Amino acid sequence: MYKILTLNNISVKGLERLPRDRYEISSEIQNPDAVLLRSANMHGMEIPGTLKAVGRAGAGVNNIPVTQMSERGIAVFNAPGANANAVKELVVAAMFLAARDICQAWEFARHLKGSDREINDLTEAGKKRFVGFELPGRTLGVIGLGAVGVLVANTARAMGMKVIGYDPQITVRSAWRLASDVQPVYSVDELMAEADMITFHVPENDATRGLVNAKRLGLMREGVVLMNFARSGIVDEAAVVEALSVGKVHAYICDFPTNTLKDHPRCVTLPHLGASTHEAQDNCAVMVADEVREYLEAGNVRNS
């Protein structure tokens, strides 16, 4: 009997891949053979001596001490691409939110007071204040052309945007899946200088931490829109707040509600919802459950 410890809710569709006659699965199990998790933080956690595998039902593995796991011979699996469509849809929604100031306009409308007649009159002020822009013809910059970046780039092309992309590690596979008219650029600075909207799809590591800083913000177009559904550390939040306050950045839409950002009127923060669709949770859980099972039962390694 294999013992599986779950540190977060894992979709039933995934758990069903681990037959109950061979797998005992619980959030309280002792001496587990494997751990399945979403965003739970394993840094600082005592690692059981029985542990052979960790399955992250998501793309990023920065909540897992991967080096420490490798040193102890524990395999770490993730689910690359399994939630890519969910993230893409939220990024596309963010583009419309920013272009039409939907959150700010909704906030304005919610706070209107008076009779319907008076509210109707006050509505005129909102109409004057929230004049948006349309996406066709605008330039989207995509940093990171992995599973999510490629989907975002192709969708933006289909919506009539010009798309430029940067990825120092682009693979043949991701290049092949890009629409032919997504234009590659060869430096982050070049992309930042040319884009009206910029979206980030890279992991957080030494090379990407603070990728958006005061100097790079200075290179950007006036009124640029920034979207970050990857990791918070990619962006220097204090520098972005400063740029939002002077109008250099029109809006920052991100998946990380921090104290620095969450109350700024031009910043829309969401509680890490990129992968939170039923479909994405099922896809991720099925992928990691299969990976962990193949590893425990046959020693096969996929996405490690």
- State the nearest-atom distance from the C-beta of 241 to ligand MLT, in Å: 23
E strands in the chain: 2-6, 23-26, 34-37, 53-56, 75-77, 139-143, 162-166, 183-184, 197-200, 224-228, 249-254, 267-269
Query: Residues binding ligand MLT: what is the number (CB under 6 A)?
Result: 9
97: left (phi over 0), alpha (psi -120 to 50) or beta: alpha
Of the pair 244, 275, the CB lying nearest ligand MLT is at 275
If one asks whether residue 151 binds ligand MLT (CB under 6 A), the answer comes out as: no
Inter-residue contact 217 to 240 (CB < 8 Å): yes
Of the pair 48, 60, the CB lying nearest ligand MLT is at 60
- State the nearest-atom distance from the C-beta of 164 to ligand MLT, in Å: 24
- State the nearest-atom distance from the C-beta of 59 to ligand MLT, in Å: 3
Give 235's contacts (C-beta < 8 A, 6+ positions apart): 200, 210, 211, 212, 226, 228, 252, 254
Give backbone dihedrals phi and psi of 296, rounded to 5 degrees, phi first. -65, -40
44: left (phi over 0), alpha (psi -120 to 50) or beta: left
- State the nearest-atom distance from the C-beta of 251 to ligand MLT, in Å: 22
Distance CA 26, CA 4 (A): 7
Of the pair 55, 274, the CB lying nearest ligand MLT is at 274
- State the nearest-atom distance from the C-beta of 233 to ligand MLT, in Å: 13
Distance CA 103, CA 66 (A): 38
Of the pair 33, 255, the CB lying nearest ligand MLT is at 255
Name the segment binding ligand MLT (CB under 6 A); options: 120-128, 180-188, 256-264, 268-276. 268-276
Residues 30-59 close enough to bind ligand MLT by CB under 6 A: 38-39, 58-59
Torsion of CA 135, 137, 143, 146, to 10 degrees: 80
Give 250's contacts (C-beta < 8 A, 6+ positions apart): 98, 223, 224, 225, 266
- State the nearest-atom distance from the C-beta of 190 to ligand MLT, in Å: 27
Which pair of structure tokens corresponds to residue 45? Answer: 């956690």
If one asks whether residue 275 binds ligand MLT (CB under 6 A), the answer comes out as: yes
Of the pair 4, 59, the CB lying nearest ligand MLT is at 59
Distance CA 249, CA 254 (A): 13
Binds ligand MLT (CB under 6 A): choice among 60, 210, 233, 257: 60
Inter-residue contact 71 to 48 (CB < 8 Å): no
Of the pair 11, 155, the CB lying nearest ligand MLT is at 11
Name the segment binding ligand MLT (CB under 6 A); options: 41-49, 239-247, 267-275, 292-300. 267-275
- State the nearest-atom distance from the C-beta of 11 to ligand MLT, in Å: 11
If one asks whether residue 88 binds ligand MLT (CB under 6 A), the answer comes out as: no
If one asks whether residue 228 binds ligand MLT (CB under 6 A), the answer comes out as: no
| Amino acid making up residue 218 | G
Inter-residue contact 151 to 165 (CB < 8 Å): no
What residue number has its CB nearest to ligand MLT? 58
- State the nearest-atom distance from the C-beta of 22 to ligand MLT, in Å: 26
Q: Which residues of this protein are in contact with ligand MLT, per CB under 6 A?
A: 38-39, 58-60, 83, 272, 274-275
